[in-house]
Amino acid sequence: MPVMRLIKSICLAILLAAFAASTISAQGATQAMQQDPACQSLTPAAAGGPLPKDQDTVVVRWLGWTNYELAYRGNVYLLDAYYDRGPHSHPIGVMPKDFKKANAIFIGHAHFDHISDAAAVAKQTGAIVVGASFGSEVVAKEGLPAKQFKAVKGGEVMQYPGVTVEAALGHHNVIATQVPAGHLEKQAATLKVASLDQPLTEEETKQAAAIRARGSRDPKIATDGVINYLFTFSNNFRVMIADSPGPVTDQQRALMQKVPSVDVAMLPYVDFDAGIPPLVELVKLFKPSTVFLGHHDGAGTMNWASNYPAALAIRDASAKTRTMEVVYRTPVCFNTMSKEMVIGW
């Protein structure tokens, strides 16, 4: 056999073997995730729970509001940090004191309901807090050293083990300007009347005020302080987090011109019906295969918005996008190669 034919035969054999191996790996991904303790545990990895065994498994957990955990290749990334949500809120199942491990905490914006527990968790874990500059004063007041805060304004590319994170400037929601005057106030009053939730006691009022104080009220946050993060894992598996459904920005468009779509998007659903149109615009931009909805689980039953109207609107706008309806801490595992998904318990 001529040398060139021999070389071609060997190369073909290697390619076929590699293809067979990848096919087997992809076909076995679901079974592997089903057997992985990280995909069957309600304990977040950041709170001492198991990390995924397979290097191609990403575990996503919703930790209430717009808090998420990504566990991947022995590392833990937290998205927003608002776990102690105050009196009468639904217990997430973990509190700031429970967090033991985190490589980085990515803050979407510095309002209290996105950053209030970032300093506490960072001090316990040694994690770097990443966010717009408005957050630096917030965490400094809570005693976090300056070296543990990384300011971003959009356009930065950050490297972590096996993960690339790109920041893009977003915009805070402007829903109040898009509904009739007084609509949101009337909505809140109606829900309060319909709810059986009791008024806050004096002590509870102080507790709620202390939580609100761990945030910034700078009005410039709306235009200059909302950051989206695009995580790109192995096999170009992409996860996007946006914690406020503001008008689409030039940086968001520019980022999505570089990639065709994302595999998973964490998006906010706020203000009930009024919040659906801006949510749908983000879906159209990011073209996600799977959407996790956050920010809709307000205190009591009446303030917890049903996902179904939003999910229906998303499906109408993007027929191949599925919307997740999972409760706190449920592990949702994705294989970055085959893109298979397993929902644990």
Q: What is the pLDDT of residue 2?
A: 56
Residues 6+ apart with CB under 8 A from 295: 65, 66, 243, 268, 269, 270
Q: What is the pLDDT of residue 345?
A: 83
Looking at residue 96, which CATH number applies to its domain? 3.60.15.10
Instruction: Give the whole-angstrom CA distance, residue 294 versus residue 267.
Output: 6
Q: How many domains does the chain have?
A: 1
**Structural domain contains residue 88:** yes
Beta strands 68-72; 290-294: pairing state: unpaired
**Structural domain contains residue 10:** no
**Structural domain contains residue 124:** yes
**Structural domain contains residue 104:** yes
**Structural domain contains residue 18:** no
Can you give the residue range of the structural domain that contains 214? 36-343
Question: Which residue reads 């983000």 in tokens?
Answer: 282
**Structural domain contains residue 9:** no
CB 162 within 8 A of CB 234: yes
**Structural domain contains residue 207:** yes
Q: What is the DSSP string of 127-161?
A: PEEEE-THHHHHHHHTT--GGGEEE--SS-EEEET
SS3 of residue 41 by DSSP: coil
pLDDT at 24 > cutoff 90: no
Least confident among 77-86, 133-142, 185-194 = 185-194
Instruction: Give the whole-angstrom CA distance, residue 34 versus residue 56.
Output: 14
Assigned token pair, 99: 């967090």
pLDDT of 286-304, one tens digit each? 999 999 999 999 998 999 9
pLDDT at 9 > cutoff 90: no
Instruction: Give the whole-angstrom CA distance, residue 84 versus residue 236.
Output: 34
**Structural domain contains residue 27:** no
pLDDT of 115-151, one tens digit each? 999 999 999 999 999 999 999 999 999 999 999 999 9
Q: What is the pLDDT of residue 197?
A: 85
> pTM higher than 0.85, yes or no?
yes
Q: What is the DSSP letter of 117?
A: T
